Structure 1
Amino acid sequence: MTPPVRIAVLGAADFARRRMLPAFAAREDVVLAAIASRDPDKARALAGAHRCRALHGYAAALEDDDVEAVYVPLPAALHARWVRAALLAGKHVLAEKPLATTAGETAELLDLARSRGLALVENVLFPHHSQHARARELVASGAIGELRSFRAEFTVPRRAEDDIRYRADLGGGALSDTGVYPVRAALLALGDDLRVAGAVAVRDARLGVDTGGTALLHTPEGVSAQLAFGLDDAYRNTYAYAGTEGRLTVGRAFTPPADHAPVLRLERGGEVTEVRLAAEDQVARAVGAFAHAVRTGGMPDPDVLRQAVLLEDIAARAAVAAKPGPEENELKDFRHVE
């Protein structure tokens, strides 16, 4: 029998406590070996609740011979540093998204993992749910005719101002948080040759981060992808394919609860058909996929780098769009004279 992967968690992030630690505990192919925190009291409290060892400081987990892999749920700006350190220490890594804050660093980390024969997985959960494969099958079968466009939206209401998502120094912002989901969904739906046509972002000047935005992407064949993301909006969590003969919508696309039974909505010829699917726990499936990658020598998913390149391009296009053009400057000068 294959032994379970012994994993340590770096930090005591809320998402780790709510979703990942219960998933680790529920599976037989992983064992939670330790909780490492800069705060020894937090480490002891969380480790006691999960019957594992408490370690003081993140480096302690990397130096521990009983730990095979680490889970990194730290703020985005700290991901690259600790992912790199873990790989250099010979540990497999499951890291929260985004893997790094730049495409260059992402490529470097993926290369390092390959060179050392270690599993490196970005913890984007929704692709592990089979509702997305079923949606792609329906589109490929011609259920909506010839595909013309794709639209994906993931926006959430505003949180407390001290939330790390609003901390520029910690890599916060809507694009790196909720924007990852529609971008990855577009890659899954339309393939890896997507290009960014344009983007805009809403920026909170006081906080120094973007709180929302939209992007327009396209394939070489002209199929478009309209993406929306936000941290200060009404809740939206969906995507849809539109074709020459119909439309296919996936609701609760990115964060369905384990007991949620998906319903794909197919509109065609004035009729609506509901395609009902079984409930699945995408968190458990993601943990299982990581354990399998560790034990089988699985290589990093190339979509991780493609996603990073697109996110960087979207950010650059949004920055350009925010700058006033020559005509706007002339108008400002005219108003100033007035």
Structure 2
Amino acid sequence: MTAPAARPMRLGVIGTSSMAERRVLPTVTRMPEWELVAVAGRAAKKAARFAEQFGCAAEEDAGALLERTDVDAVYVSTPTGLHRHWAERALRAGKHVLVEKPIGVDAAEARSQCALAAERGLALRENFMFLHHPQHARVRELMADGRVGRPASFRAAFCIPPLPQDDIRYDARLGGGALLDVGVYPLRAAVHLLGPGLEVAGATLRTRASDGLDLSGQVLLTSPSGVLAELAFGFEHAYASTYTVWGDRGRLTVTRAFTPPATHQPLLVVEEQDREERLVLPAADQLALLLAEFAHAGRSGGGDTRRLMDSVATMDLVDAVRRTARRMPVC
């Protein structure tokens, strides 16, 4: 006799961001693991539009959403500067939490949320979708198999063209800036692939002359094993989303590292002394994989504390970049 299917996890959404509208909620509504129950945002009119678009209720404010007994988990999709506030309120209300990346504006906020989730026995996840894509597990397998030999350097970049002038990511008061928006991706990739103990050896930030908001930057990291990592990020470039692991036997490049579409077949390029191998992997929906894992974690009481430790480690590096970076004001 077949066991009955688990009841869907019931999701409430705080925030009406573009990411929620374009990516997360359309994926949630087609997954059997989830039932979208309600949405709340700063503007009641926009929340009502989301509710009509995705077939759920609209709450007058986020506090009312957290009081609902038919909400098991909350997706926090507010501006970065508000992530900690609403994630912790949701955890205190007994809800599992998926918080948009980055988990907060600094390491103290990351530690506070992780400690509260552990204390309450609740699942807390940061919406770094790329970590769930199988291409990165394949990279780790190739590294373990010795295809690049002993790694000596790691290079990663996540850069996008300039945003509209009224984009919220240009608002420093709400946690804007390139470091928190795109810089955290290569930092998190370095933590994921190179392990703990990374330190910032140097950094530069191009900043807006009017208010010091960081527009782009570069970071040099060192690892306990001697790997040097060179990272680039920013709002001032043609699009790039890639990383390379370079060792004494070969070089391995992920050509679409952080934001591959669900239909994209990843290409890994392995370059050795006298040969190049191009590995085309099956397409995968990294957001659906993350949401499935989050649903499982909610049912099983949290789990996977390693990723939360990596969240804190990434924000420790963000803090170190801020402390040590040489700033270059630009008009």
Q: Which category describes the TM-score, using the shorter chain as reference length?
A: over 0.9
Residue 329 (structure 1) aligns with: none
Kept in 2: contact 1:166–1:207 (CA 8 A): no
Residue 99 (structure 1) aligns with: 103
Runs of 4+ in 1 over 3 A off after TM superposition: none
> Unpaired runs of 5+ in structure 1?
324-338
1:85 aligns with 2:95: no
Q: Which structure is larger by alpha-carbon Rg, 1 or 2?
A: 1
1:256 and 1:121 mapped to 2: Cα distance?
20
Kept in 2: contact 1:13–1:74 (CA 8 A): yes
Which AA in structure 2 matches 1:75? P
Q: How far is the alpha carbon of 1:139 from its aligned partner?
A: 1.5
Residue 163 (structure 2) aligns with: 159
Residue 31 (structure 1) aligns with: 35
Kept in 2: contact 1:259–1:279 (CA 8 A): yes
Residue 173 (structure 2) aligns with: 169
1:313 aligns with 2:320: yes
1:298 aligns with 2:305: no
Kept in 2: contact 1:167–1:207 (CA 8 A): no
Deviations 1:79-122 (A, max 9, x none): 11111111111111100111111211211111011101111111
> Unpaired runs of 5+ in structure 2?
none
Percent identity (aligned): 46
Q: How far is the alpha carbon of 1:305 from its aligned partner?
A: 0.7
Residue 77 (structure 2) aligns with: 73
1:109 and 1:206 mapped to 2: Cα distance?
33
Aligned pair partner of 1:241 in 242, 245, 264: 245
2:281 and 2:294 mapped to 1: Cα distance?
24
Residue 330 (structure 1) aligns with: none
Deviations 1:9-58 (A, max 9, x none): 11211110000001101111111001112322222221112111111111
2:100 and 2:288 mapped to 1: Cα distance?
15
Residue 288 (structure 1) aligns with: 292
Q: How does 1:179-194 map to 2 (within 5 A)?
A: 179-194=183-198
Which AA in structure 1 matches 2:58? A
Kept in 2: contact 1:145–1:246 (CA 8 A): yes
Secondary structure of 2:279 counterpart: strand
Residue 56 (structure 1) aligns with: 60
Secondary structure of 1:179 counterpart: helix
Secondary structure of 1:216 counterpart: strand
2:238 and 2:12 mapped to 1: Cα distance?
36
Q: How far is the alpha carbon of 1:207 from its aligned partner?
A: 4.4
Residue 116 (structure 1) aligns with: 120
1:187 and 1:86 mapped to 2: Cα distance?
27
TM-score under structure 1 length normalisation: 0.93
1:70 and 1:264 mapped to 2: Cα distance?
35
1:137 aligns with 2:141: yes
1:322 aligns with 2:315: no
Kept in 1: contact 2:16–2:47 (CA 8 A): yes
Residue 213 (structure 2) aligns with: 209
1:105 and 1:278 mapped to 2: Cα distance?
37
1:242 and 1:149 mapped to 2: Cα distance?
5
Q: How does 1:218-297 map to 2 (within 5 A)?
A: 218-297=222-301
1:196 and 1:177 mapped to 2: Cα distance?
19
Q: How many residues align?
A: 321
2:53 and 2:265 mapped to 1: Cα distance?
31
Kept in 1: contact 2:256–2:267 (CA 8 A): no
Secondary structure of 1:239 counterpart: strand
1:31 and 1:93 mapped to 2: Cα distance?
15
2:197 and 2:84 mapped to 1: Cα distance?
26
